[in-house]
Amino acid sequence: MSALCSIPNLSDYYPGLAWFDFQGVTKKMKVLVKRFDKLFDSMIDQRQKLDRNGVGQESKDFLQVLLKLKDESDAKMPLTMIELKALLMDMIVGGTDSTSNAIEFAMAEIMIKPDVLRKLQEELETVVGKDNIVEESHIKQLPYLYAVIKEILRLHPPAPLLAPHCPSETCTVGGYTVPKGSCVFINVWAIHRDPSIWENPTEFRPERFLDNKHDCSGNDFNYFPFGSGRRMCAGIAMAERMFMYSVASLIHYFDWKLPEGETLDLTEKFGIVLKKKMPLVAIPTPRLSNPILYERDY
């Protein structure tokens, strides 16, 4: 789905030709939408059966809240099943490969810098314990890890052009006239590597974020990996937690090395979502002395 969204579509430039679907983009999209629809129907049916049986009533999950809102919606603020599924689609398409790609970039950058890996492992050992598992409650106690995550999001923002913007009225930005209805993309990748803003901008240096001057709130236009304003990423809180928890777990549980004779290539592949051009291949070696900790049921 992300790949199809990234394809330059002839129909977008010549709307009169959209009916012909020369590149087959619409056809392929419709096939994917049907597959997603079946997936959502299965999830919703399963959730509704559990609700009818009184399972999970003590703590509601996100889907339960959406279904309740749909059932209780009024004429002024209706929530239809189609809109509910569209919201689930946004979450899944927007929150899966963007996170996994960011984790891949993080592991690659960390492996290139052994001193960063050592500092992370020392911080995790202090906060989590050498023979304990990483919990979400530990995340707020790991400032160096947070600095590493921020630096990864600076160098390799998951959405390098952010979400497209469309002005409702003609406006002037930085001396340039932006006509009403224009499709505007913000090159946050270039902003994050601007040498007039960042010292040694292409260098991976997490220490630049230890002073907490920059956050991901979108209020600082020198650093806004999740966008800003009303078009800011809706899943920022979930993304930060998933990103930090995943990297913390990988670093704490394993030592990492490249296969014999391999070298790391950090070349990026541009699209709506930023990817590594060459996938990372790394060999893990267990660090924890208690093997039972690796058998935890997630």
Q: Which residues are annotated binding-site positions for heme?
A: 233
The tokens describing 33, both together, are 């939408």
b or e along 225-236 (b: 16 or more beta carbons within 10 Å of the residue's beta carbon)?
bbbbeeebbbbe
Tokens of 292: 């039972």
Q: Provide the token pair at 298.
A: 């997630």
Task: Quickly tell me which residue has 């505007």 as its tokens.
Answer: 184
Binding-site positions read 233
Q: Do 99 and 239 form a contact (C-beta atoms < 8 A)?
A: yes
Q: Is 182 helix (H, G, I), strand (E, B) or coil?
A: coil
CA-derived radius of gyration, the chain? 22
- CA dist., res. 20 & res. 33, Å (int): 19
- β pairing state of 268-269 and 275-276: antiparallel
Distance CA 269, CA 191 (A): 18
The vertex-93 CA angle with 244 and 11, nearest 5°, equals 140
